[in-house]
Amino acid sequence: MIDRPSESSGERPAIGVGLLGCGNVGSALVRLLRSRTEEIRRRLGTALELRAVAVRNLSKDREAPLEGIDLTRDAESVIDRPDVHVVVELIGGIEPARALLRRALEAGKPVVTANKELLANVGAELFDLAESAGVDLLFEAAVGGAIPIVRPLRESLAAERVRRITGIVNGTTNYVLTRMAEEGASYEEALGEAQGRGYAERDPTADVEGYDAAAKIAILASIAFGGKVVAGDVYREGISGITQADMAFAERLGYVVKLLAIAEAVGSGAGREVSVRVHPAMVPKRHPLAAVRGSHNAVFVEGEAVGELMFFGRGAGGMPTAGAVLGDLVDAASNLLRGSASSVGRLVPVRVRAIDELVSEYYLNLAVVDRPGVLAKVAAVFGRHGVSIRSMEQEGLGDEARLVFITHLAREADMQATVAELRHLDVVRSVGSLLRVVGEEDAPDLLVAGGAL
Ligand code: NAP
C-alpha cells in the first residue's frame, strides 16, 4: 500500500524516495538530493525525501550523507515501505534488478533506473508492465549518462519520423581512439592510460568490444522506432583491431576513426526493417561527430521533419549520471502529484536487417608485395565482386607496399567476399582493417518511407 499523507499542512505532502544501490551513481544522487533541496521544493511545491537505501554491504564506507536514513540489505523491504512513493534502481545488471523493478511497478510505484543492461535485454517486458500499471518507468541516465537523449526521443520527437541515430555512446573507446589519433599512441598504450585515469575497467571487454554501446543503441532504437530491439540484435565489432596505420591513413584522407553505434530505419512499406550496429568507422572530419573528443559522448539524430540534431556531453561518471537520474526523479514525482505518467507505448516486434544487407562505403588497408602487376590483380578481385574503388593510396615499405582503398557504395556481403578472396591472393601479405565510411553520403536505398517499424 502507498501511504499518501493528507495536505492539511498547506504544503503538498513530501514524496518519499527509496534507493536501491548506493555505489558511484547512488552516492552522487544522495549528495545531489541533499544539496538541491530548495530547487526541488520550488519545482515540485513539496520535498523529495530519501527514506531508505538498499546496499549489499552494510559496513562499507560511502561518500554520501546517509545519517538518519534507513540502510538495509533487503531491497524488497525498501520497495514495500508505505512511505516510499518512487523507487530508484542503481544496482545494475539483470537480476535482482528485474524482479525488484517488477515488484515496484506492480505495486503502482514509479521507477527511475540507469540500468542499460536491464532495459536492453528485457525492456519491452518492463515497459508493458509500466503501461498496464499506469506509472512512470524513466531511464534517461541509461544512455549517454548526463546527455538528455531519451526524453527528447520520447517526447520532443514523439511524432517525428526518425531516419537514423548515430552515436558515440562509449567514453572509454572514444578516449582511446582520441589518444591514438592525437598523440600517436598505440591501442595498448591508450587503453593503459584510460585505465590509469579511471575511464576504463580492469577488464575493458564490455567497452572495447562494443557490448556497452550495443546495449545503448538497442534502447535508442526501441524508443525511436517503437520496436522491440534487444542487445543481441545489434551487429557488433570493437576497436581492438584498430592500428596506428589506420589512424595515419584516416588523418591523410580527411577522416577520424570513431566507434559508432547506429540505428536506422531501412526499406519501406511492408519491407521496413531496422538496422542496428556498433563498429569502428571512418567519419569525415567535417561531420559534427568527428569533433567529439576524449571521453565525451554525442548522439546525432536525423529526422524527416527536424533534419539534423546533435546531443553532446558527459556520457558517464557518478555525478553527471546522477544529474540525469535526479531529473527523472523530479519528473516522476511531479507526474505522481498530478496523477499522470509518461509512456513509451507498447513496443511491437520489428525485423532487424542482417549486416550482409548493409550498403556502405568501405576503407580497406592491405600489405602487398611491391612488384609490377600487383595492383591490377588486387583491383580485379574488387571488380569480380562488383565493388568499385573510389580512391586508392600506395605507400612503399621496403619490399612491401601498403595499399589503402576507399570504395564507392557497396553491399557488405560483396565487400566481405572481396576481403575473403584477397586473403588468399598470392600477392597479398596481410589484410588489415576493414572499416565502414559513415557520414559521407546517404545510401539511396536506406531512406525510410514510414514512421514506427
Ligand atoms: P556500482 O558503483 O557498482 O554500485 C552498485 C550498487 O548496488 C552498490 O552500492 C551495491 O552495494 C549495490 N547492490 C548490488 N547488489 C545489490 C543487491 N542485491 N541489493 C541491494 N544493493 C545491491 O554501480 P554504479 O556505477 O553506481 O552504476 C549503477 C547503475 O548505473 C548501473 O546500472 C550502471 O550501468 C548505470 N550507469 C552508471 C554510470 C557510471 O558512470 N557509473 C553511467 C551510466 C549508467 P555495495 O555498495 O554494498 O556493494
> For the chain, which residues score pLDDT lower than 50?
1, 5-8, 442-453
Planar angle of CA 383, 389, 395, nearest 5 degrees: 115
Residue 59 Cβ contacting ligand 1 at under 6 Å: no
Residue 54 Cβ contacting ligand 1 at under 6 Å: yes
| Coil, helix or strand at residue 411 | strand
pLDDT of 6 reads 42
User: Catalytic site residue 377?
Assistant: no
- Please report the DSSP string for 217-262 in residue order: HHHHHHHHH-EE--GGGSEE--STT--HHHHHHHHHHTEEEEEEEE
pLDDT of 196 reads 93
- CA 287/CA 243 separation, integer angstroms: 22
Q: In angstroms, how far is the first alpha carbon of the chain from the final one?
A: 39
Ligand 1 atom closest to the Cα of residue 142 is 44
Best mutation site among 31, 56, 199 for ligand 1 pocket (most ligand atoms within 8 Å of CB): 56
In the numeric block, which cell numbers belong to residue 97? 534488478
pLDDT of 397 reads 79
pLDDT of 398 reads 83
| Coil, helix or strand at residue 75 | helix
